[in-house]
Amino acid sequence: MFGWILSKRAYAPVKELIKNAETITANNLEKRLTVNDSGDEISELTKTLNGMIARLQNSFQTLKQFTSDASHELRTPLTILKGEIEVALQKPRSATEYESALKNSLEETDRLQKIVDGLLTLSQVESGKVSIMKEEINLKEILTEAISKINILAKKKDINIILNLDDSYTNSNQIIIAGDRNLLLNVFINLLDNSIKYSPSESDIICSEKIDMENKKIFISIKDFGIGISSNSLENIFDRFTRADLSRTRSVNTGAGLGLAIAKAVIESHSGKILVSSVPDKGSTFTVLLPFISTAKPN
């Protein structure tokens, strides 16, 4: 009898914990279990469960925000596309009018495709479903190719892209990294494209590398002298569908707001980091940090 009473008393905190845990659902994940100050296994279990609930709350909030943002981004081109088709079908029109409607519809279809492709790429990279090629890559060749491909846009605004390679070490212009060439190339093209969009005509964009030979890390920075980003926008600049404030987006076709989120996911999948610093009306600098495996002698 005494053993039964003792067992009941010992089980009481667990029973209370179970009762409280059962009240927490997807609709009230802000609730937490009460932690006693005994420091025993029950209190440690309660703390662990609260940590798990906090992570679930964050995941739910992220998913909810993502779903809301994605719906908003898809709704606009779909509405425009539907409107163009409805107007075209209201009455017989000339060939020129039909051609104009088809061109506008094609533009919105392209916009939809970019959003969907961006979401798919981001989802695959973050979930690890994209097979990251671990081939040896000459980073100088990637930077040179990215600049070559983007130069056609830079020339339209008379922007000069300057590539500064770190020559403080022998063979430093032959830094070899392990990773996916196409994914990394797209990251640097995207960063350069952003710099061109937000830079004034007849300005410079400086692409520089800095090598930390001791820790085998390389820093690639892309600096523009454009309109910059406010401190309020910097915090979330790499989030999905995030665009900077109006000071950065005025008169600029900003796209779907997925490019920087994809860039961050790709760089992190290569054990790297991407950082940004900016001063409004003076420019921005995006810095990519990547580990490298070796240096190679120039051919």
> Which CATH number goes with the domain that contains 195?
3.30.565.10
In contact, 188 and 149? CB cutoff 8 Å: no
Question: pTM of the full predicted structure?
Answer: 0.67
- Cα→Cα distances 167→125, 148, 150, 172, 205, Å: 33, 21, 24, 6, 20
Q: Are residues 108 and 71 in the same domain?
A: yes
Out of 69-73, 105-109, 269-273, pick the least confident.
69-73
Domain total of the chain: 2
Q: Are residues 95 and 150 in the same domain?
A: no
Q: Are residues 95 and 175 in the same domain?
A: no
The boundaries of the domain holding residue 61 are: 1-130
- The model's pLDDT over 251-268, given as tens digits with 9 standing for 90+, comes to 445 555 678 888 898 899
- What pLDDT was estimated at residue 261? 85
In this prediction, residue 87 has a pLDDT band, given cuts at 50, 70 and 90, of confident
- The model's pLDDT over 102-144, given as tens digits with 9 standing for 90+, comes to 888 888 888 788 778 777 777 777 666 666 677 888 888 999 9
* Mean pLDDT value of segment 164-190: 79
> Which CATH number goes with the domain that contains 105?
1.10.287.130
Q: Does the structure show a pLDDT above 70 at 11?
A: no
* Mean pLDDT value of segment 63-84: 76
> Which of 101, 130, 159 is the last residue in one of the domains?
130
* Mean pLDDT value of segment 270-278: 93
Q: Between residues 227 and 111, which one has the greater pLDDT?
A: 227
Q: Are residues 160 and 190 in the same domain?
A: yes
> Which of 130, 147, 165 is the last residue in one of the domains?
130
> Which of 130, 152, 187 is the last residue in one of the domains?
130
